[in-house]
Every structure is written in structure tokens, then in C-alpha cells.
Amino acid sequence: MSRPMRTVSFKLSERLDDALSDLAQRRKSSRSSLVREALEALATGKRRSVTAVVDELVGSLDGSADLSTNPKHMAGYGK
């Protein structure tokens, strides 16, 4: 059985608030979850590997996968 969570309030700059919202949307996570994850890592001294960070981003971009190999996409390039 998990313990009940405590509520904590704090202030963020507009820039940091926007960054937190953007990251939460990209990761399909809540802002609270991201803050808990960051504080847990800070409190325990655990750092995530680059591989773990990149793994979350794989598949997060849309677009043509063959931009450099499909002649259709390269037509007129460099002219």
C-alpha cells in the first residue's frame, strides 16, 4: 500500500513553468510527476544516463524518414 502524497506549493519563473509544461506534454506525463522525479534524483544523487533520456525521445518526432535518400526530397537541393 502506498503512502498518501503531501501537497507542496512553490513558485516558478514563467520560462521554467513553460519548460515544465512542454516536457510533460512530450513525455505524456503530469507536471507533478516530473517534479517528483527530478527531486528524487536530486535527493538520492541518481542521474539518468544519456541513453535513458534519448530513449524517451525516440519516436517523438514526425516527418519523412527518407529525407536524405529519396530523390523526391532532394530535388533542387544545393541550387
pLDDT tens per residue across span 43-70: 888 777 777 777 767 766 677 777 778 8
Predicted pLDDT of residue 31: 94
Q: What's the pLDDT at 46?
A: 77
**Dist CA 39 CA 35 (whole Å):** 6
Please indicate, yes or no, if residue 6 is contained in any of the structural domains.
no
Mean pLDDT confidence for 5-14: 92
Instruction: Please give the Cα distance from 32 to 41 (Å, whole number).
Output: 14
Residue 6 has pLDDT above 90, yes or no: yes
The residue ranking higher by pLDDT, 56 or 74, is 74
Residue 30 lies in a domain: yes
48 in any annotated domain: yes
What is the count of structural domains for the chain?
1
